[in-house]
Amino acid sequence: MIAMMYLVLTALLALNVSKEMLDAFLVVNESVELTNENFTQKLDDTYKAFNKKLQNDQVKVKPFYLKAQEAREMSDQMVGFIDSLKYELISITEKIPVDSAKMLPLKDAKNKDDYDTPTNFFMGGSDDGSKGAGIALKNRIDNYRVEMIELLPPDDRKHIKLGLDTQGDYRDNEELKLNWQQYNFYQTILAADVAILNKIITEVYNAEFDVVNFLLDAVDAKDFKYDNIDAKILPKGDYVFVGDEYHAEAIVAAYSTTQNPEVFIKMGVDSLPESQIASARPIAGEKGLVRFSLPATEEGIKKYAGIIRVKGGTGDVNTYHFHNEYTVARPSLTVSATKMNVFYIGVDNPVDISSPGIPNERLSAEINIGRLFRNPNGEGWLVKVDKKPQGKVNAVISVYAQIDDAKKKMGEQVFRLRTVPDPIAKIANKTDGAISSNALIYSPTIVPVKPENFDFDMTFRILSFDMVLLQGETTTTESTNGSNFSDKMKDLIKNAKRGQRIWFENIVATGSDDETRQLNTIMFTIN
């Protein structure tokens, strides 16, 4: 993909260099630099594998190891040369010291659309690129390619393609033939040249990777039909429940279906020396694989070790040691309401559901009443029971885990259902005491307030209430629907005298659970 982007952008260089094109070259260059970082990590892993083989068998591995080190040295020199050209080019184009050029991100270069200076740098004033840095780079690439190929046996060289070809059929937009230097560096801007040089570094790393892997594979070629031989235990899972079985495959990777390895396993040990093989359990293989099961009768971490024997290509028996462990546990479950130990009707009840050793994405849960679903706005689950059920019914959550290809019940948890506590009816944020008639007139509404220390959200509304005014021995009662004072109530309040008692009773409210509630009485004395 990067190479395709590079070709398209190179073809567009004949047009005016727009900001969009410059940005495109920067994107390509960043992608190439990231690819180079990944390549260096892969190469480091390959050399570590080589070092490990060398430690195991100096005599057999050393000839291949030395050639791999040659490949590493030649590649480092080649990459170093390309980097030196790149930083020199940036230095000349930007008119800054080379040390500053090494630290300058390409996106911050002021002259990244300059093509005169880079063209002169690579072409050396010649039309055919026979002078300048371009021809020097081409010659180094050609020499590097030949030297890398010569690290491989003559019969094997035809099986590997290193790239880095400088002899291709290069053409311009008018189909006129170009050489490698002209095609890559004639009238190209600084941003394109840096991307091209980094792309060549990618090809160098790719060539090094192919050669070193070929040498690594050749180490074991005479011992077995396939490469990268090692004892492998492939368990279906390392966490097993009591009553189940631990399942795994023991293979020699890469294995041959014409060879049937012998496996010897012993429980409770970290290693199995060949001198103790008689005390181990033998298991026969079939078509190159050995499948086995181990018991899971009691809880704890269970260790085991063993030996795999397999015949090599020469008929010699090769021995490979392995060890592993698995955990046996009872099915367990954690289901807890995150705010209380009950579920409240009509609100979202947050719930934590987990099972030790089981990833959350493998858990599923069901509830016998209401709804249970994952929290769309965060972690955990939510339980919603919309209405109070008939009779005494508890909520039961059942949890299941997807283990291998089976759905296993982990357990269940029972929760009590409760109605959300009644709100507190208030007027002017008061429930009793002295109050002026003006204060009542200016706050002509009964407000249902959620009790303190109750964390759930439920909206309540007042359905109806009565207002009672005591005048001497006479009481006057007015009723209304909703939460606001009626006009008649307001008139009575305006005419109330100091010391008169007034109270609001039979206050009926409802919440999102559709339950009606009789709220507290509010009692005032007019001051």
Cα 485 from Cα 507, distance rounded (Å): 12
Q: Give CATH for domain 334-419.
A: 2.60.40
Q: Which residues contact 412 (CB under 8 A, 6 or more apart)?
A: 333, 396, 397, 398, 399
Q: Is the pLDDT of residue 130 over 80?
A: yes
Q: Which two tokens stand for residue 63?
A: 């000839």
Q: Is the pLDDT of residue 272 over 60?
A: yes
Element (H, E) at 37: helix 19-56
| Domain boundaries defined on the chain | 2-219, 230-329, 334-419, 424-526
Q: What mean pLDDT is reported for the chain?
A: 84
Write down the pTM of the prediction: 0.43
Cα 294 from Cα 305, distance rounded (Å): 12
According to the 3-state scheme, what is the secondary structure of 182-214?
Answer: HHHHCCCCHHHHHHHHHHHHHHHHHHHHHHHHH
Chosen CATH of 230-329 out of 2.60.40.10, 2.60.40.180, 2.40.480.10, 2.40.420.20: 2.60.40.10
The string of pLDDT tens digits covering residues 133-150 is 999 999 999 999 999 999
What is the predicted pLDDT for the residue at 456? 80
More confident residue, 133 or 11: 133
The pLDDT-based confidence of 415 (bands split at 50, 70, 90) is very high
The pLDDT-based confidence of 173 (bands split at 50, 70, 90) is confident
Helix axes 58-94, 133-149, angle to 10 degrees: 170
- Of 105-109, 283-287, 342-346, least confident by mean pLDDT is 283-287
Cβ atoms within 10 Å of 385's Cβ, excluding its own: 23
The string of pLDDT tens digits covering residues 295-340 is 878 766 788 999 988 765 444 677 888 888 776 766 656 666 555 6
By DSSP bridging, strand 406-419 and strand 432-435 are: unpaired
Please tell me the number of Cα atoms within 13 Å of 126 on its side-chain side.
14
Q: Which residues contact 89 (CB under 8 A, 6 or more apart)?
A: 118, 121, 122, 133, 190, 193, 194, 197
- DSSP E strand stretches across 63-219: 170-171, 177-178
Q: Dihedral of the CA atoms 193, 197, 198, 201 (nearest 10)? A: 170
Name the β-bridge partners of 251.
232, 289
What is the predicted pLDDT for the residue at 232? 64
Cα 489 from Cα 485, distance rounded (Å): 6
287 to 260, 261, 281, 336: CA distances (angstroms): 6, 9, 20, 49
Q: Do domains 230-329 and 334-419 have the same CATH topology?
A: yes
What is the predicted pLDDT for the residue at 11? 46
How many Å separate Cα 102 from the centre of its chain?
33
